[in-house]
Amino acid sequence: MAGYPFRRALVTGASAGIGEQFARILGDAGVPCVVVARRGDRLRDLATRYPGFEVLEADLQSDDGIAAVAARIAADTDPVDLIVNNAGFGTSGPFHETEVERATGQIDLNVKALVALTHGAVNAFRARGGGHVLNVSSVASFQASPNMAVYAATKSFVTSFTEAVHEENRTFGVKVSALCPGFVATEFQAVSGGADRFTRTPRILWLNADKVARAGLDGVAKNRAIVVPGWQYASLPVLAKLTPRLVVRRIAGKIV
């Protein structure tokens, strides 16, 4: 796209990875951003590079962090009209070996925080006559993923939830999209415990974070309910529905 229809954006998880790419792309396009993450030092470094950037240091696994971001979304001073719910994390390995705090933490961040901020955004945008919500999901949402059981389940929720909210708001000027990328080369892999996945996964399956972020921004601007970047993954939603679940589970388990 030559330009974006957004006047001001709020991006969660903006301190690294795809979230940072969202902020950089928007900043380069002249769209001021409220950048949100726990690591304030990284956010402040990012904000110095773009005029109009605002830093909001918040932990979205806490009720106080969610409340602070929800309040900024609702604010009428310098209002935002694009929310990118990008913050999230995963854990690799057998479920029974995962610390229960990390398992439930994924639900708190990937689901609870995203639902709360989407709720705040939709209400604010309806009152203002329009806006955009981009929820970052994953191709893992289209099937169960052994060794990333909780992560895939949270993303399955995100995709289904986003589709429903998209339909509810289709005639109210509020555009809601789910971005469902495949493997993206970011520090997410190291945080999830899958740092060696890059060497084990065919290079053709890896996507560039910049292209993924651009696909998401273009998709929500066009009000596409589901955005699957990369030709490698374009047919995956259909194949996942047509292929027996046993086969899909086994393939996903081999990959992950």
HSE value, Cβ hemisphere, 13 Å, CA-based, for 195: 4
Structure tokens that stand for 101 in this block: 């705090």
Cα 147 from chain centroid? 21
Please report where in the chains the tokens 């795809």 appear, as a residue: 18
Catalytic residues: 151
Number of other CB atoms surrounding residue 234 within 10 Å: 11
**Closest to 232 (Cα-Cα) out of 180, 173, 163, 168:** 180
C-alpha to C-alpha distance for 24 and 120, rounded to whole angstroms? 24
DSSP state of 112: I
Distances (CA, A) of 42 to 50, 88, 206, 256: 13, 17, 25, 30
C-alpha to C-alpha distance for 144 and 35, rounded to whole angstroms? 32
